[in-house]
Amino acid sequence: MATYNKRGYKTPKEKEVKEVTEEQQVVIDEKDSTTAGVFSKLDETASKTEDWVAKNQKIIIGLVAGVAIATIGYLAYQKFVANPKQEEAASEMFVAQQNFEKALNGVSSDSLYKLSLNGSEGKFGFVKIADEYSGTDAGNLANYYAGMAYLNTGKYDDAIKYLGEFKSEDVILSALAKGAIGDAYSQKNQQKEALDYYVKAAGSNKNDFTTPRFLLKAGKTALALGQKEDALKYFNDIKENYDATPEAATIDAFIGLAQ
């Protein structure tokens, strides 16, 4: 009986089998060996880490617990100690601030400044507030008020002490405090120290209020010390950069003295 092949039909070929040479087998074996070595090292490292953790577990737990306790302690301090203390200090300072402001207006100034420093109406004065509530914003501000009150009552060493304790991110108050220290040294006839603080006050923040004010004081003090070149520099700074301020109104006369 005749056998016919369908058109296009091909007899299936046996699957080709690639022979692996000895050289290729060596490469494969080496790769397997390298991979096994890496995993072995990883297992060994992991084992050492686990051993270290196991041996130092108490220390690790102690450190974690310590951080947690410190965090909780800080939050608790802020809520139950710092914030109430701040409110208490602000309440204590209200009467002292009133006395200080009345003194600035010229009403029985000396006696009112003393009341603001020492306290009245059952409330603390700035000196006590600065001491009892140190570390609070109100306690820090009390240093500024106390320094200014002492400056206005002629207690220059005390003024320098309290103003030096005052720290503020408020650029105006910070400059005023430095300038007031300069005033205290000037009243003590320590002109070099005064000049140093006037320059610091003028340079602490460039603005139309404090900068020309303390540049002028720096220039006058430099003139008194015979430092005409420095004085001229301070006066010219006012003329060139702060010509719209009150200090600039008579600056040409000072420039003439420094030349």
Give Cβ neighbours of residue 216 (< 8 Å, ≥ 6 apart). Answer: 234, 235, 238, 247, 251, 254
What confidence tier does 251 reach under pLDDT thresholds 50, 70, 90? very high
**Cβ–Cβ under 8 Å, residues 114 and 99:** no
Neighbouring C-alpha atoms within 13 Å toward the C-beta of 155: 15
Residues 6+ apart with CB under 8 A from 113: 99, 100, 103, 149, 152, 153
Mean pLDDT along residues 123-143: 89
Q: What 3-state DSSP class applies to 254?
A: helix
Please give the pLDDT value at position 77.
Answer: 38
pLDDT digits (tens, 9 = 90+) for 174-199: 999 999 999 999 999 999 999 999 99
- Average pLDDT rounded to a whole number, residues 111-127: 90
Higher pLDDT, 47 or 19: 47
Residue 165 has pLDDT above 60, yes or no: yes
Secondary element (H or E) of residue 187: helix 171-187
Q: What type of residue is 44? A: E
For the residues 210-232, what does the mean pLDDT come to? 96
56 pLDDT higher than 80? no
Nearest alpha-carbon partner for 112 in 98, 124, 122: 98
More confident residue, 226 or 31: 226
The letter for the amino acid at 144 is Y
Q: In the prediction, which pLDDT does 138 show?
A: 87
Quick one: pLDDT at residue 62?
53
Residues counted in the chain: 259
How many whole angstroms from its chain centre is CA 105? 35
Phi-psi region of 135 (alpha: psi -120 to 50; beta: other; left: phi over 0): left
Tokens 């408020």 -> residue: 170
Percent of the chain as helix, strand, coil, to the nearest 5 = 75, 0, 25
pLDDT higher than threshold 50 for residue 203: yes
Candidate ranges 21-25, 70-74, 101-105; pick with highest mean pLDDT:
101-105
Structural domains of the chain, with CATH: 169-259 (1.25.40.10)
Can you tell me the mean pLDDT for 50-65? 55
Residue 28 pLDDT exceeds 90: no
pLDDT tops 60 at residue 66: no
Handedness of CA 132, 134, 140, 146 (dihedral sign): positive
